[in-house]
Amino acid sequence: MTRIQQRGLYFEELQTGVVYAHSPGRTIGEADNTLFSTLTMNPQSLHLDAAASASTEFGERLVNSMMTLSVMVGLSVAQLTQGTTVANLGFGEIKFPAPVFAGDTLYAETEVLSKRDSRSRPTNGLVVFQHRARNQKGEIVAQADRTALMRRVPVDEGNSAAAG
C-alpha cells in the first residue's frame, strides 16, 4: 500500500524568489483575540476593553498584533514547514501597517528571500522567509522576515523529493 504523508518542503525544494500563497484563510473572532491576549498575560485595554477602545482613533478593539503575527506564520506551516523545519532561528523586521479587527479574515503568503547551506549542520540549511498577511480587503496588515533551520531531503528518500 502506498502511503502519502502531508509535509512541508525540504530545503532543496524551497525556491528563492517564489511566492507561496497559503490557504485557507483564518477569520479572527472576538473570543480568539480575548483568549490570546489573556493567555499571553497582555491586559492592554486596546485588546480587551470595548468602552476604552471606542474612544481611540480606531473606534473599537484591535486584534493583538502578536496574534496577527502568530496566525500569519501559522498559515504557512502546512505548505512550507510541517515536519521539515528544525527550528526558528529568529525574526528580522516585523511590521503591522494596518490594524486587524475582530471579524477580519487573514490570508497569508510567503516569499523565500534567501537560502544557504548550514555551516555547522550538513543535514540542514538556513532559509529566510518573508511572510505577509492581508485582510479580506487585500490590505497588508502584517509582514515579517523569519530565519528557519530547515531539514534537507533525508538520505533514505534519496533526491526524488527534490526532483519532483
Residue 152 is assigned to a structural domain of this protein:
yes
Dihedral sign, CA of 69, 74, 80, 81?
positive
Say if 89 falls within a structural domain.
Answer: yes
Q: How many structural domains is the chain composed of?
A: 1
Q: Is residue 1 part of a domain?
A: no
- Full domain range(s) for residue 139: 11-163
- The grid cell for 86 is 528544525
**CATH code: domain of residue 27:** 3.10.129.10
* The predicted structure's pLDDT at residue 158: 53
Name the pTM for this structure.
0.91
pLDDT at site 156: 78
Predicted pLDDT of residue 117: 96
Please state, in angstroms and rounded to a whole number, the distance separating the CA atoms of residues 103 and 19: 26
What is the Cβ-side half-sphere exposure of residue 134, based on CA atoms within 13 angstroms?
11
- Mean pLDDT of successive 10-residue stretches along the chain, which has 164 residues: 92 96 97 97 96 97 98 98 97 98 98 97 97 98 98 76 45
State the Cα–Cα distance between residues 23 and 20, nearest whole angstrom.
10
3-state secondary structure of 140: strand
Q: Is residue 3 part of a domain?
A: no
In a domain, 29, yes or no: yes
- The answer to whether position 2 is within a domain reads no
